[in-house]
Amino acid sequence: MATLPSDDLTPTGEKRRDFIYIATGAFAAAGAAAVAWPLVNQMNPSADVLALAQIDLDLAAIQPGQAIKVSWRGKPVFARNLTPKEIAEANAVQVGTLRDPQTLAQRTKAGKENWLITLGVCTHLGCVPLGAGEGENKGAFGGYFCPCHGSQYDTAARVRAGPAPKNLEVPEYAFKSPTQVTIG
């Protein structure tokens, strides 16, 4: 190079920022970011966990008035076949008086109001309410009863009494056939 080395020095003797240093630094920073992503992403659910993120449920065996409990993503899901009486009871309630106002129609699929599919996790602190199994206590409102702190759910699994703030959660699900649903 024809320039004297002193050309590179600022008055305090440090080298001026060179384009090559900036380019190298930027490239290295981009590389570091690109490396960081897989290290973070590996903690996301692995392929085998994602494979079980959706389950198929056969509803054919559930008689009106019966419910089953299945495990989905590690949590219990209640699938209940409502009787006409239970549907009528649910529809008779004044929605405005509910802590978490929802109609039965909003919590079921069109044309399939007898199928009530909800998570079996109390919205208070997460206990599994009773009422899905044969002979279990359904509480004062004929739906589900949580023994931990006394939350009561009605035939549409809406909270009516007790400390729970919300209705039992309705997961994402879809009917593949009149008796087959895919949850998740």
Partner 1 sequence: MVKLIAGLLGGVFCAALLYGAVVPRDAVQPDPVAKYHLAPKEVSWANDNNGGLAIFSTFDRGQLQRGYQVYKEVCSGCHSINRVAFRNLVDIGFTPAQVKALAKEADIASIDDKTGEPNTRKGIPADKIPGPYANEAAARAANNNALPPNLALITKAREEGPAYVYSLLTGYRPAPADWKTPDGLYYNPYFRSLNVAMPPPLSADGQITYTDGTKSTVQQNAKDVTAFLTWTAEPTLEARRRTGVGVVGFLIILTILGYLSYQRVWADLKRKKPEMMPAE
Partner 2 sequence: MSFPWAKHYEPQGAFMKYVDSRLPIPRLVYDSLGAGYPVPKNLNYFYNFGVLAGFALIVQILSGVILGMHYAANTTIAFDSVEHIMRDVNGGWMLRYMHATGASFFFVVTYIHIFRGLFYGSYKPPREVLWLLGLVIFLLMMATAFMGYVLVWAQMSFWGATVITNLFSAIPLVGETIHTWLLGGFSPDNATLNRFFSLHYLLPFIILGVIILHVWALHIPGSNNPTGIDVKSEADTVPFHPYYTAKDFFGLGVYLTLFAVVVFFLPNALGEVDNYIPANPLSTPAHIVPEWYFWPFYAILRAFTQDFLFVPAKLWGVLAMFSAILLLFFLPWLDTSPVRSNNYRPLMKQLFWLFVIDVLILGVCGGKPAGEPWLRISQLASAYYFVHFLILVPLVSRIEKPLPLPNSISEAVLKKQTNTGAPVALQPKGAGLAELPVSGQPAE
- Return the active site residues: 149
- Alpha helix stretches (DSSP H) within 59-179: 84-92, 104-107
List the one residue from 3, 6, 10, 41 that touches partner 2 (CB under 8 A).
41
34: contact with partner 1 by CB under 8 A: yes
List the one residue from 11, 16, 19, 38 that touches partner 2 (CB under 8 A).
38
8: contact with partner 1 by CB under 8 A: yes
DSSP per-residue string spanning 172-183: -EEEEETTEEEE
Find which of partner 2, partner 1, none residue 3 binds, CB within 5 to 8 Å per kind: none
List the one residue from 36, 44, 45, 48 that touches partner 1 (CB under 8 A).
48
5: contact with partner 1 by CB under 8 A: yes
Distance separating alpha carbons of residues 128 and 34, to the nearest angstrom: 43
44: contact with partner 2 by CB under 8 A: yes
Distance separating alpha carbons of residues 43 and 28, to the nearest angstrom: 24
Query: Which stretches of the chain are assigned E, i.e. beta strand?
Result: 55-58, 67-72, 75-81, 115-119, 142-145, 152-154, 159-161, 173-177, 180-183
**Spatial CA neighbour of 90 closest among 149, 160, 147:** 160
**Which residue, 24 or 179, is less far from partner 1 as judged by CB?**
24
25-32: long-range contacts at Cβ-Cβ below 8 A with a sequence spacing of 24 or more? none
Specify the stretch interacting with partner 2 by CB under 8 A; choose among 36-44, 58-66, 117-125, 131-139.
36-44
Contacts to partner 1 by CB under 8 A? 1, 5-6, 8, 15, 18, 20-21, 23-24, 27-28, 31, 34, 47-48, 51-52, 56
